[in-house]
Amino acid sequence: MRQMKYLTMVLLLGVSWQLSARDTLRLTLEEAVQVALTENPVVRIAGKEVERQYYFLKEAKGNLIPTLNASGSFSRNLKDSPMFMSGSMIEIFMGDQYPGEIPDVIARRMAGTTNSYSASVQLRAPLFSMGLYKSIALSEVGVQMALEAARKSRLSLKNEVEKAFFGLMMAQNALEVMQKSLANAERNLSDARARYEQGMAAEYDLIRSEVQVSNIRPSVLQAQDNVSLAGWQLRLLLGLDLQTPLQVLGDLSDYEPQMLQYRQFPVDLSGNAELSQLGMQARQLHAQLDLLKTNKMPSLYATGTYAMVSQNSDFKVQHYQWLDSPSVGLSLSVPIFNGWTNQHKERQVKLAMDQLSLQKEYREQSLSLEARQAHIRMQQAVDQLQSNKDGMRQAGKAYDIAQTRYHNGIGTMLELNDADVALTQSKLNYHQSIFEFLKARSDFDLLTGKEQ
Nearest-angstrom CA–CA distance, 146 and 268: 23
CA angle 418, 419, 422 (to 5 degrees): 85
pLDDT of residue 81: 64
pLDDT of residue 214: 93
Nearest-angstrom CA–CA distance, 253 and 256: 5
From first to last of its 452 residues, the chain has per-residue pLDDT tens of 444 444 444 444 444 444 444 578 899 999 999 999 988 888 889 999 999 999 999 999 999 999 999 999 988 888 766 655 555 554 555 555 555 554 544 444 445 677 888 999 999 999 999 999 999 999 999 999 999 999 999 999 999 999 999 999 999 999 999 999 999 999 989 988 888 888 887 888 889 889 999 999 999 999 999 999 999 999 999 988 889 899 999 899 999 998 988 887 788 899 999 999 999 999 999 999 999 999 889 999 999 999 999 888 777 777 778 888 899 999 999 988 888 888 999 999 999 999 999 999 999 999 999 999 999 999 999 999 989 999 999 999 999 999 888 888 888 888 888 999 999 999 999 999 999 999 999 999 999 998 77
Nearest-angstrom CA–CA distance, 414 and 405: 12
CA angle 241, 245, 250 (to 5 degrees): 120
Strands 323-333 vs 25-27: parallel, antiparallel or unpaired: unpaired
Q: How far is CA 436 from the centre of its chain?
A: 27
pLDDT of residue 91: 52
pLDDT of residue 443: 95
Q: How far is CA 202 from the centre of its chain?
A: 65
Angle formed by the axes of helices 341-407 and 413-448, nearest 10°: 160
Are the beta carbons of 284 and 138 closer than 8 angstroms?
yes
Nearest-angstrom CA–CA distance, 301 and 297: 13
Nearest-angstrom CA–CA distance, 30 and 7: 12
Non-local (6+) Cβ contacts of 282 within 8 A are 353, 356, 357, 360
DSSP, res 249: -
pLDDT of residue 86: 53
Q: How many CB atoms lie within 10 A of CB 420?
A: 23
For residue 350, give the nearest of 294, 277, 276, 286 by alpha carbon: 286
Question: What letter represents residue 192's amino acid?
Answer: A
Are the beta carbons of 160 and 235 closer than 8 angstroms?
no
Strands 105-108 vs 83-86: parallel, antiparallel or unpaired: antiparallel
Non-local (6+) Cβ contacts of 96 within 8 A are none
**Single pTM value for the model:** 0.78
Non-local (6+) Cβ contacts of 324 within 8 A are 306, 307, 308
pLDDT of residue 368: 94
Nearest-angstrom CA–CA distance, 398 and 417: 11
Characterise 100 by phi-psi region: left (phi > 0), alpha (psi -120 to 50), beta (else): left
- Helix, strand, coil percentages (3-state) for the chain, rounded to 5, are 70, 15, 20
**Sign of the C-alpha dihedral computed for residues 163, 164, 165 and 170 taken in this order:** positive
CA angle 349, 350, 356 (to 5 degrees): 90
Q: How far is CA 162 from the centre of its chain?
A: 17
Complete domains list, the chain, with CATH: 15-62+129-297+337-448 (1.20.1600.10)
For residue 158, give the nearest of 347, 31, 294 by alpha carbon: 31
pLDDT of residue 319: 76
Q: Which residues of 221-246 are buried (b: 16+ CB within 10 A; e: fewer)?
A: eebeebbeebbbbbbebbbbeeeeeb
